[in-house]
Amino acid sequence: MQTLPLIQHLINGKLVAGGSRSQDVFNPATGQAEKQLLLADKATVEQAIACAQAAYPAWRATPPLKRARVMSKLKNLLEDNAEAICALVTAEHGKVLSDSMGELQRGIENVEYASYAPELLKGEHSKNVGPSMDSWSEFQALGVTAGITPFNFPVMVPLWMWPMAVTCGNTFVLKPSERDPSSALLVAQLALQAGLPPGVLNVVHGDKEAVDTLLADKRVQAISFVGSTPIAEYIYATGCANGKRVQALGGAKNHAVVMPDADVPNAVSALMGAAYGSCGERCMAIPLVVAVGDATADAVVAGLKVEIAKMKVGPGIDAGNDMGPLVTQAHFDKVKGFVDQGVAEGATLVVDGRGVKVLGHEAGYFLGACLFDHVKPGMKIYQEEIFGPVLGVMRVKTLQEAMSLIDAHEYGNGTCIFTRDGEAARYFSDNILVGMVGVNVPLPVPVAYHSFGGWKRSLFGDLSAYGPDAVRFYTKRKTITQRWPSAGVREGAVFSFPTNR
Ligand code: NAD
């Protein structure tokens, strides 16, 4: 039997084994196991935490500008190695190469933003807050921090987390998704090459055992999580109960409202990418269109049908393809099950992608684009996150009706409105109960110098991911008040509360 290449942990700057369990990593385009991943046990994760703890004092004392220079070098290395990184993403996740490149570029922009950390960490200063008295607030590192990331952005989401964490002076333990772990590992190795000292960033692969060890260990001060809502809620509750700072980003079900005055052909083009890009495996994907008026709905459905017929489904490494496979057989079965359920629930399946076969890749996890019309709020395909190439169209009479639907949904990650009416767009973005809103922008994913976060059950915690919120998440405010009274002046005791009166 052929032995598969083994993916190891990166602890204290070295690739190491650890844990007696392992699992296969598949290429979703072929359905073949191509690598074996070691799953860290408690002792391995504790070893990574110990190394991060040991590296912390010297790294915290390193001037922020020197820490930031590592990020500038890393940015160059990521650009130089983009092809190799994206080949790993496509081989393990399945998304088309151009999409892997887009994901990496967004990740690089987070590294670039982290390289401004000296500016972001400057603090606040006030002179003469009292007689001969000055006061300032500074933002100090927390210590060992950790990140747990999902499969769908294997290279970008880790880059939302650790570059800013370490540039703020923390050390880090990353636990990437066990389904597509190689790109995050390669990026961590490039960070070492860029000059990050051993132990500042450690990567442990694993599952619940690894995550639970991070959650329980007293040395871990803060945890960033991105993944599904049930796990996000568990991470938030357990991490907080163990005294940690936690931000846990969860699932989504993003609605796009199409108004009667919208530019429908352009809206249709935008919806195609937002619904079927990355096979719908994006937390900012659009799986629902809420069309205002039957004429709008008819035009959108007709337009989508035409565009879907032109889509090319196949392996992500072939540049001609628009959409690759789903990530695993289990996820394929789940998504297909949702399509079966939508039919059983009475939605109209306008385009059925269940029969798609890709020649030469019969064992790959390919599902063609699916389009439902007449989706209703009571249906499971409306309520639950499908995370696949399945778009549902709903029909409402007014913008208010569309907004009531969106506000009542358990998730509040992203939404968008297609319209030419500025007043409607302003009313929508002002009042909708969702964290990230697009106006004629289908995927309103904030740029690296804004922060990313949903509302309702799409985010547990107070601070969003990356951008300015990340600086606050990975630091503690300390406020120092300092006085230098004139030498030789004798001062009596004061028993009243000090004021400036
Ligand atoms: P997931 O929740 O299954 O896994 C995420 C991480 O949690 C992985 O590292 C995994 O190993 C770990 N994990 C899984 N089960 C666990 C358990 N029982 N105990 C402890 N740890 C566990 O998510 P996924 O399938 O990898 O990713 C897809 C999900 O992530 C979708 O719901 C998507 O919406 C969401 N997501 C959200 C955002 C956002 O910013 N809100 C971004 C990307 C993905």
pLDDT tens by residue, 380-436: 999 999 999 999 999 999 999 999 999 999 999 999 999 999 999 999 999 999 999
pLDDT tens by residue, 231-281: 999 999 999 999 999 999 999 999 999 999 999 999 999 999 999 999 999
The yes-or-no verdict on residue 365 having pLDDT over 70 is yes
How far are the Cα atoms of 20, 40, 56, 219, 230 from residue 43, in angstroms, in the given order?
11, 8, 20, 14, 26
Q: Which atom of ligand 1 is nearest to the CA of 206?
A: 11
Is 95 buried (19+), middle (13-18) or exposed (0-12) by CB count in 10 A?
A: buried
The yes-or-no verdict on residue 1 having pLDDT over 70 is no
Please state the length of the chain: 501
* SS3 state at 340: helix
- Which amino acid is residue 179, in one-letter code? R
Separation of 318 CA from ligand 1 center, angstroms?
28
d(CA 436, CA 442): 11
Which residue from 37, 38, 231, 329 has its CB within 8 A of the most atoms of ligand 1, so it is best to mutate? 231
Whether residue 373 contacts residue 348, with contact meaning beta carbons closer than 8 Å, is answered with yes
pLDDT tens by residue, 284-315: 999 999 999 999 999 999 999 999 999 999 99
Quick one: average pLDDT of 184-200? 98
Same-fold call for 6-250+458-480 versus 255-439: no
Q: According to the CATH classification, is domain 255-439 in 3.20.20.140?
A: no
Count Cβ atoms below 10 Å from residue 168 Cβ, excluding itself. Answer: 25
- By alpha-carbon position, which residue is closest to atom 34 of ligand 1? 251
Question: For position 498, what pLDDT does the model report?
Answer: 86
Just list the catalytic residues: 283
Quick one: average pLDDT of 38-47? 98
Largest CA distance in the chain: 91
E strands present in 367-500: 370-373, 390-396, 411-412, 414-418, 436-439, 455-456, 459-460, 475-483
pLDDT tens by residue, 435-489: 999 999 999 999 999 999 999 999 999 999 999 999 999 999 999 999 988 888 8
- By alpha-carbon position, which residue is closest to atom 24 of ligand 1? 150
Which residue from 149, 204, 211 has its CB within 8 A of the most atoms of ligand 1, so it is best to mutate? 211
Separation of 381 CA from ligand 1 center, angstroms?
20
- By alpha-carbon position, which residue is closest to atom 19 of ligand 1? 208
Separation of 483 CA from ligand 1 center, angstroms?
50
- By alpha-carbon position, which residue is closest to atom 38 of ligand 1? 283
State the DSSP H helix or E strand holding residue 248, giving kind and residue range, or none if neither.
Answer: strand 245-249
The domain spans of the chain are: 6-250+458-480, 255-439
Question: For position 214, what pLDDT does the model report?
Answer: 98
Whether residue 246 contacts residue 223, with contact meaning beta carbons closer than 8 Å, is answered with yes
CATH of 6-250+458-480, one of 2.40.70.10, 3.10.640.10, 3.30.2020.30, 3.40.605.10: 3.40.605.10
Tokens of 138: 């500074």
Task: Reduce the secondary structure of 80-148 to three states and give it as a string.
Answer: HCHHHHHHHHHHHHCCCHHHHHHHHHHHHHHHHHHCCHHHHCCCEEEEEEECCEEEEEEEEECCEEEEE
Residue with tokens 């650790």: 162
Q: Where residue 494 falls among pLDDT bands split at 50, 70, 90?
A: confident
- pLDDT mean across residues, the chain: 97
d(CA 280, CA 287): 7
What residues does ligand 1 touch, defined as CB less than 6 Å away?
Answer: 148-153, 157, 175, 177-178, 207-208, 211, 226-228, 231, 249-252, 283, 385, 387, 413, 454, 458
d(CA 127, CA 132): 9
Whether residue 178 contacts residue 9, with contact meaning beta carbons closer than 8 Å, is answered with no
- By alpha-carbon position, which residue is closest to atom 11 of ligand 1? 207
The yes-or-no verdict on residue 76 having pLDDT over 70 is yes
pLDDT tens by residue, 323-352: 999 999 999 999 999 999 999 999 999 999
Query: What ranges in 255-390 are assigned the alpha helix state H?
Result: 264-276, 294-310, 329-345, 380-383
Question: For position 487, what pLDDT does the model report?
Answer: 83
Q: Where residue 131 falls among pLDDT bands split at 50, 70, 90?
A: confident
Please spell the DSSP secondary structure of 19-73, one letter per residue. Answer: -SEEEEEEETTTTEEEEEEEEP-HHHHHHHHHHHHHHHHHHHHS-HHHHHHHHHH
Tokens of 278: 């990355």
How far are the Cα atoms of 221, 480, 481 from residue 147, in angstroms, in the given order?
11, 30, 34
d(CA 399, CA 421): 12
